[in-house]
Amino acid sequence: MPELISCGECLVDMVPDERGCFCPHPGGAPANVAVAAARLGVSAAFVGKRGQDPFGELLQQHLGDGGVDTSGFTSTREALTALAFIQYGEGKVPDFRFYRNPGADELLRPQDIPAGLLDAARVFHFGSISLYSEPAAGATRAAADKVRAHGGLVSYDPNLRPALMETRPGALEGARSAIERAHLLKASAEELLQLTGAQQEDRALAHLFDHGVRLVAVTRGADGATMATPSSRVDLSGESVTVVDTTGAGDAFTAALLTGVIERQLGPDDLAGLHEDTVRALGAWANRVAAQSTTQTGATQGVRRPT
C-alpha cells in the first residue's frame, strides 16, 4: 500500500515556449507532489478527479508513467479537465490563470476514494484548492480525518492562488479552516502571512503552532527556506543553480520534505520535538531537491535524488 497519498487538483499547465505558443504540461500541486515523491523513491498514490477528455488522458498517463498509484484518480463526464495558463514575471516566477468552472477536480466525492486506500497511509498531503467548493472539500476533509484517526501524519500546502480565489467566495476561510487538521505545513513567506492574518512572521508561526501544527516550512524561492518547530528555527540559504522554470519548485520541496519524514519514520508525535540538526537536514535536503527541479521545464522533470 502507498506510504504517501496526495489529494487534490490534477490539471494541465499551459506553458509558453520561446515562440509564445502554449504547450501542455501535467500539473496541479498535489499531483506534482505525488509524482515528485515517487521519483524520490517513495510509494505514492494520488486521489483526485479528471475529465474524460484528451487532457485527462494525458494526466492519467503522466501519473502512471511516474510510478504513482492511480486507483483513486477517477474520471467524470460532468466537467472537463482544468487548465492553468502560465505567464512568467520577474525572476521567472509563474503567474497562473485558471480555466475551470467547474473543473473535474472539484467534483471529487468521498465514494470515489477506494475503500482501504487510506488505511495504511503514513502521510496524507493536500492543498487548499480542493477546499474551495463542494463536493471536493468534504471529500478532502474526510480523507484527512481518516488518516489522522489511525495515527498518520497530515501535510498541508495552502498554495494560495489569488486569481482563482477571486472566483470562489470564502476561499481564504476554507484555506484557513484546514490548519487545525495539519501536523506539517509548507507555505511561501507571503502565503504564511495571508493564511494566518498576521503581520509578522513570528506571530504567524505562533498562530500555526497554537492550532496544532508541529513543523512549518517557509519557502523563499532563490533565498532558501526556514524550518520551524515550536522549539527551534533554522534558516537555510538558497542553492546556486541555472534556473529554467520555477513551476512546481515548491511542490518538489514538499515532496522531498515528506520523503525525508517517511524515510526517518517520523510520525505526528515526533515532529514538535525534533532535534535542530534533524530539522536542518530535512530542510537542506528539500531545498536542494527544489533547486534542482528548476533546471528543467515542467513541474517534475527536474526532480531527482541529489548525488
> Active site residue: 13, 69, 112, 251, which one?
251
53-56 contacts, C-beta under 8 A, 24 or more apart: 53/80, 53/81, 55/12, 55/24, 55/80, 55/81, 55/83, 56/80, 56/81, 56/104
Q: Does 251 participate in catalysis according to the annotation?
A: yes
Cα 53 off chain centre by: 24
Query: Torsion angle of alpha carbons 178, 136, 9, 107, nearest 10°?
Result: -170
In three-state secondary structure terms, 69 is strand
Measured at the alpha carbon of residue 159, what is the angle toward residues 33 and 38, in degrees to the nearest 5? 0
In three-state secondary structure terms, 281 is helix
Catalytic site positions? 251
